[in-house]
Structure 1
Amino acid sequence: MATRSLLTVPLLLTAAAAAVAWIAFGPAAALAFAALAVLEIAMAADSSVPMAGIAGRLHSPARRLFLSLGIVAGVLAMRLLLPPAAVAVGGATDPATAVDEAVFAPGSFSAHLAEVRPALAAFGAAFIWLVFAEYLFNTDRLIRRSWLGGLEARLARVARPRVWSVVTVATGVLVTTVLVGHQDAWAPGTVLPVALGGASGVTAYLASKRIARRALRGVDGTATGAVGTRWSWRIHVYASTVVFERGLVVFMLFEILDGVYSLSGSGVLGADGLGALEQAALAVAAIAVGAVFLARTTSRLDQAATLKRLRYLKAGAAYVLGVLAVLLWTSLLVPVPGAVVAWFGTVVIGLALATSLPWRAWARRLRRRTVAG
């Protein structure tokens, strides 16, 4: 993969936006924006592998839509709209009021987001575990080589894999709820959000999959067959469910585990002299840069058929989701260090990449050259 060509557009967008920020708001704002944009690009690199795996299951024109507008719009929508929606639902307030507070009263909004965080983390953990369980129990019954050996192979062959998915996630929700209840003396205000959040995550996942199945029903007989123009709207609906799933994963990784809402004005964008609207504009621009890089990286992985050549990379991406779900459940009981959040995806993907490379073939080639020489 040509890293230079992948970074060209995102870096040009970053440079242009940083220049505008410098002229409009000063050098501190430009540096703050550049730092956040680089962070977004780095985190997008980890998300590109699972995105490419999903793109491989789509067909034109849905694939083109997903790899361009779909990823960018989905990431922006989930990152920017889900927190105000969560605050509005959790606090029984008007959504417009929640959005207004997120922009103009970031400190108050962060406090309200922290109040609904347990329910949101429980929701995300259950939802993301079910996405991971698709790989773990091989719900699509794909032929694949196991990355982690015999246990993984046996789990991929279990009967009724969807039942196993629901059983494992229900166990995770129940165990977490019991531990949280025991930790906080079974206070209803602590236990109910975790239990209801987990149940809502399971419900949202099942609803998303039901919509996807209904959208694919009758599309040339299967989800993987050639798709005619008359069925393209159904494939777009299916692609939208995929964008929702991955957008939720990216949101949970940034906003919940990392503990910082992008428009909160804290952290990287806490530049002196910036008003609420200016900070919000810079945050949205940085998120957009990361989304563009994610779309370009995913498209390049898909075009190069990288996941087929690097046979364990898709498995690594799946295990990133499993670890993320476990970290979300863990964060309801104990604080999760930021370093763990920042590096776990990179480490897992790196191990999957390292085990996918043809080391033995390279060694044989080197030996033959040495003997011939």
Structure 2
Amino acid sequence: MFKYYKGSLLFTALCMALAAWLGWDITGTLGGTLGILWIVAVLGVLEVSLSFDNAVVNATVLRDMDAVWRRRFLTWGILIAVFGMRIVFPLAIVAIAAQMGPIDAVVLAATDPVRYEHIITAAHVGISGFGGAFLAMVGLSFFLDEEKELHWIGLIERPFSELSRISGLAIGLVLLALYGISRLIDPAEAMTFITSGIFGLVTYIAVQSVGALLEQEEHVSHSGQDAAVAVAKSGLAGFLYLEVLDASFSFDGVIGAFALSNNLFIIALGLGIGAMFVRSMTVMLVDKGTLAEYRYLEHGAFYAIVALAAIMLLSVRFEIPETITGLIGAALIGLAFYDSLRSNRKDAKLV
């Protein structure tokens, strides 16, 4: 167990040390420093609780990737997750929204966190449209699968499996959801919401298309060298898919983190800790074959993804606490885990 989380624990120690230094620099008091350390710890726990379903879905992709790409997911991937999504992405939003340069955005984050927070939260509609649409496609594509044989909640999943014969159904459902929710918000924001949602759909289709093309190359490869190149390309496609998936999951967390702090660097440290643990958890799930052992765990994760997508889309009109989001995901995965254990016991008795 320790070997999977050794890197995460070391990373946590480094982040907490940086948080202590930052807290002392900002407050100059022991109490203030301890307060910032507490915020960083809470953000880390929050990120893990909100992203456990992300870890399960990541594991479904990683189990078909070779060890080299798994390692790259833990190294390059964590750099993208922590520095890209938790630091660069918010700064890019501020730079675009406020029409300023990247250096000015960094200065703004460091010197005027209140205005920085206001600009980020003002972009919530676009972020929710993109992330919600992408995650909705991820979740619906799992259930709209004609070849899917194992069902957890058959009353829901069997009809969806049959409906998979309707071409483009998932895209149609997401577009209807975007249109319906856009009617509930201000017309000026509605266009932003729908446009962002369409880009989320296009991103999902693009990532899937790249993966399909690379898999096709892998099938037509014959020589050992060509096969190795094809596998590498296939691993690259999976890596890109995982990074976009992680980005979609992290949108809500980045926005929600401002409820605890409006300091970019404190948020990055806390969410970065959570992101690292999610990656370690993903690799452990793959290596230990947990998804195969607990048959409904994957189903619970995809139900949680559909729920998160719905919450992200609805959040442009209704204020939904992060606690509710985390509890729904945890409850669905917990129920799936319990039913998996119960099914395993029944199978053992039959033997």
TM-score normalized with structure 2 length? 0.83
CA distance in 1, matches of 2:226, 2:90: 36
Matched, 1:98 2:105: yes
Counting matched residue pairs gives 338
- Are 1:121 and 1:252, in contact at CA under 8 Å, matched by a contact in 2? yes
1:72-120 CA-partner distances (Å, limit 9, x unpaired) = 1342222322223333444444344334433432211111122221121
**Which position in structure 2 is the counterpart of 1:55?**
62
Paired position in structure 2 for 1:122: 129
Does 2:16 align with 1:10?
no
Label 1:15 to 1:99 Cα distance change in 2 as closer, same or farther (>3 A). Answer: closer
The verdict on how the C-alpha distance between 1:33 and 1:355 changes in structure 2, with shifts beyond 3 A counting, is same
Rounded Cα–Cα distance in structure 2 between residues aligned with 1:321 and 1:32:
26
Equivalences for residues 80-159 of structure 1 within 5 A: 80-138=87-145, 141-159=146-164
Counterpart CA distance in 2 for 1:233 and 1:105 is 44
Identify if the C-alpha distance between structure 1 residues 239 and 98 changes in structure 2 by more than 3 Å, giving closer, same or farther: farther
Native 8 Å contact 2:4 2:281 kept in 1:
yes
2:178 to 140, 158, 173: 173
- Structure 1's 150 and 30: CA in aligned 2 closer, same or farther, altered over 3 A? closer
**Is this contact kept in 1: 2:131–2:249, CA < 8 A?**
no
Q: Which amino acid aligns with 2:319?
A: P
C-alpha distance in 1 between matches for 2:131 and 2:18: 36
Q: Is residue 2:198 matched to residue 1:193?
A: no
| Equivalence for 2:283 | 299
Report Cα offsets for 1:290-336 as digits up to 9, x if no partner: 22212211111001111111111111111111001111121111111
Are the equivalent residues in 1 in contact too, given 2:47–2:253 (CA < 8 A)? no
More helix by share: 2
Q: CA deviation at 1:350?
A: 0.5
Q: CA deviation at 1:218?
A: 0.8
Measure the CA separation in 1 of the matches of 2:132 and 2:69: 28
How far apart are 1:59 and its partner, in Å? 3.4
Unaligned segments of structure 2, at least 5 residues: 25-29
Contact 1:88 1:98 in 2 (8 A): yes
Q: 1:326–1:283: structure 2 CA closer, same or farther, 3 Å change rule?
A: closer
Report the equivalent of 1:323.
Answer: 307
Unaligned runs of 5+ in 1: 271-278, 369-373
Measured after TM superposition, the shift of residue 127 of structure 1 is 1.2
2: CA distance between counterparts of 1:251 and 1:306?
24
Paired residue type of 1:50: V
Q: Give identity over the alignment, percent.
A: 20
* Segment drifting more, 281-290 vs 103-112: 281-290
> Once the 2 structures are TM-superposed, how far is the Cα of residue 49 of structure 1 from its aligned partner?
1.0
CA–CA separation in structure 2 for the residues paired with 1:215 and 1:87: 35
Question: Once superposed, what is the RMSD of the aligned Cα atoms?
Answer: 3.1
| CA positional deviation for 1:340 | 0.7
Following superposition of structure 1 onto structure 2, how do residues 327-338 of structure 1 map, counting pairs within 5 Å? Answer: 327-338=311-322
1:73 to 59, 75, 79: 79
